[in-house]
Every structure is written in C-alpha cells, then in structure tokens.
C-alpha cells in the first residue's frame, strides 16, 4: 500500500531503513516457520526449539518495526533516502518506540489469551495469564510515561503534535489501559479486551494525528508524496472491499 500510494517516500524509507526492515521481515518469516514446524515436530525437544524460535521472533518483528516508526517520526529519514544506515534507527526515539511496540503487542496478546482461556474453562491457565498480563500492562504504562521526556526532546515535531491535536487520543489511550487493567483485575477479561484494543488503537491513531501532515517528518508531507489520483482511488476501493470481506468474519 505504501509503495503504491506514496512511492517516493517509500523508496526513501526503504533506502535509509533497509537494515531494521530486513530484520523485521526476518522476524515475520521465522515466526511463521516456528509456528508451523512446532506443530509437526516429531520430538518434544524439537517442539521446544521451534517454540523458542516462535517466541523470539514474536519479539523481533514488532521491535524493529517500531524502530522504523521512531526513525521516521524523529525526522531521520531524508527525502533523498541517503540517511545514515545505523544512526537513523539506533537512537533514543527509535529504540524506545521499538520497546513500546513490543509491550503493546504483549499486552494485547495477554488480554486475548486470558479471555480465550477463561471461555474454554481452563481456570488455572487463565489465572496465570491474568497475572502476567497485569504485570505487562503496568510495565507498559511505566515504559510509555518514562519514554515521553526523551522522545519529546529527540522528536520535537512529534512532541508538539502529541501535546496538541493528538492530546485527547493520548488521554483516551491512558484511560483505556486503566479500565482494561481494572476489568482484568476483576476477572472480566472479555470486557477488558475491548478497552485494551481502544487503548492501543488510540495510541496508533494519536501518533498519526500528531505527525500530520508529515509522511516523513520534517522532510515530506503526505500531499507532496502522494501518487497519481487514479492510483489512490483504486487503492481506496481495494481497501474498502478488503474491509467488507475481512471485518465481518473477524468480528
């Protein structure tokens, strides 16, 4: 979608951030492979090996995708794509956003797994998952709050948006996480899932609102990077059809 709709910005990001993007892709591939091979492992030791591969790659993929988002948000991806291959993503904003991305994924996964275990009647498993998810949720909150000062110093354009137009969404995210943790503590994981999704979705949408109108922060705006109008209309149609096809069975 990015390649087709905003080709120049995509090329610039791919050139500068090729290393973290390759590492993220490696994590995605190994995650699928670990999941598949674990299911058909002939021995317990092999199953544990592929389980560890699945678990490790489940951390690798979101972390490096987060570093890419942090690099773009902190203005380290120039329009010509000639940014530094290392410092562009090895910096405070990128590393902190990578860690926050992993924490958000773990928090959501814990919420959904706890609800599934409860619905299936696995009470002991649900109790263990609930304790772990509560811990992850609290760590996530501390991580986000602790990351704000360095990110605001390192990415001033993003910081201005987060404290301005995106502030209501950030507040919504904080409240959503508090409600989710409270519901989980009261052993209502099904309802807690909704609040958890609202919390994470608010962060993502708030990030976009804070970064607007930049596609590559301080370098290229969304309007400047946009592809041909006919291409954008076709992509919108494809996205709408995909939503109609996917969302009902997902719900």
**Dihedral, 105, 109, 112, 115 alpha carbons, nearest 10:** -130
pLDDT tens-digit profile of 96-121?
999 999 999 999 999 999 999 999 99
Query: What's the confidence (pLDDT) of residue 181?
Result: 95
Return the CA Rg of the chain. Answer: 20
Q: Is the per-residue pLDDT at 205 higher than 90? A: yes
pLDDT tens-digit profile of 146-191?
998 999 899 999 999 999 999 999 999 999 999 999 999 999 999 9
236 within a domain of the structure (yes/no) = no
Using left for φ > 0, alpha for ψ between -120 and 50, and beta otherwise, residue 132 falls in alpha
Query: What's the confidence (pLDDT) of residue 15?
Result: 97
pTM over cut 0.75: yes
24 within a domain of the structure (yes/no) = yes
Are 129 and 115 in contact, with CB atoms under 8 Å apart?
A: no
233 within a domain of the structure (yes/no) = no
Query: What's the confidence (pLDDT) of residue 145?
Result: 85
The whole domain housing 132 covers 2-225
pLDDT tens-digit profile of 4-33?
999 999 999 999 999 999 999 999 999 999
Closest C-alpha among 96, 27, 19, 17 to residue 60: 27
15 within a domain of the structure (yes/no) = yes
Is residue 119 classed exposed, middle or buried when 0-12, 13-18 and 19+ CB atoms within 10 A define those classes? exposed
pLDDT, mean of residues 83-92: 96
Chain-centroid distance of CA 38 in Å reads 25
Query: What's the confidence (pLDDT) of residue 97?
Result: 96
Query: What's the confidence (pLDDT) of residue 231?
Result: 96
Q: Is the per-residue pLDDT at 141 higher than 90? A: no
Are 184 and 224 in contact, with CB atoms under 8 Å apart?
A: no
Residue 144 pLDDT grade (very low, low, confident, very high; cuts 50, 70, 90): confident
Query: What's the confidence (pLDDT) of residue 20?
Result: 98
pLDDT tens-digit profile of 29-68?
999 999 999 989 999 999 999 999 999 999 999 999 999 9
Query: What's the confidence (pLDDT) of residue 235?
Result: 95
240 within a domain of the structure (yes/no) = no
> In sequence order, what are the beta bridge partners of 221?
214
Residue 90 pLDDT grade (very low, low, confident, very high; cuts 50, 70, 90): very high
Rounded CA-CA distance 226/236 in Å is: 13
pLDDT tens-digit profile of 115-140?
999 999 999 999 999 999 999 999 98
249 within a domain of the structure (yes/no) = no
Counted domains in the chain: 1
């Amino acid at each position: 979608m990015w390649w087709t709709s905003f080709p120049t910005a995509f090329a610039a990001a791919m050139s500068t951030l090729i290393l973290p993007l390759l590492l993220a892709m490696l994590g995605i591939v190994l995650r699928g492979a670990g999941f598949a091979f674990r299911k058909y492992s002939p021995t317990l030791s092999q199953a544990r090996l592929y389980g560890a591969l699945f678990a490790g790659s489940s951390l690798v993929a979101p972390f490096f995708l987060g570093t890419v988002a942090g690099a773009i948000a902190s203005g380290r991806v120039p329009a010509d794509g000639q940014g530094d291959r290392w410092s562009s993503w090895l910096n405070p904003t990128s590393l902190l956003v990578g860690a926050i991305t992993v924490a958000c994924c773990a928090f959501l996964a814990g919420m959904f797994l706890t609800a599934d275990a409860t619905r299936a009647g696995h009470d002991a498993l649900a109790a263990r998952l609930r304790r772990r998810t509560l811990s992850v949720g609290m760590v996530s909150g501390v991580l986000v709050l602790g990351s704000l000062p360095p990110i605001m110093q390192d990415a001033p354009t993003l910081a201005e948006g987060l404290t301005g137009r995106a502030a209501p969404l950030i507040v919504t995210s904080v409240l959503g996480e508090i409600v989710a943790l409270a519901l989980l503590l009261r052993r209502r994981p099904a309802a807690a899932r909704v609040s958890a999704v609202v919390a994470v979705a608010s962060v993502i949408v708030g990030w976009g609102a804070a970064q607007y109108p930049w596609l590559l922060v301080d370098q290229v705006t969304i309007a400047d990077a946009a592809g041909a109008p006919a291409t954008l209309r076709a992509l919108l149609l494809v996205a709408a059809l995909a939503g109609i096809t996917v969302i009902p069975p997902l719900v």
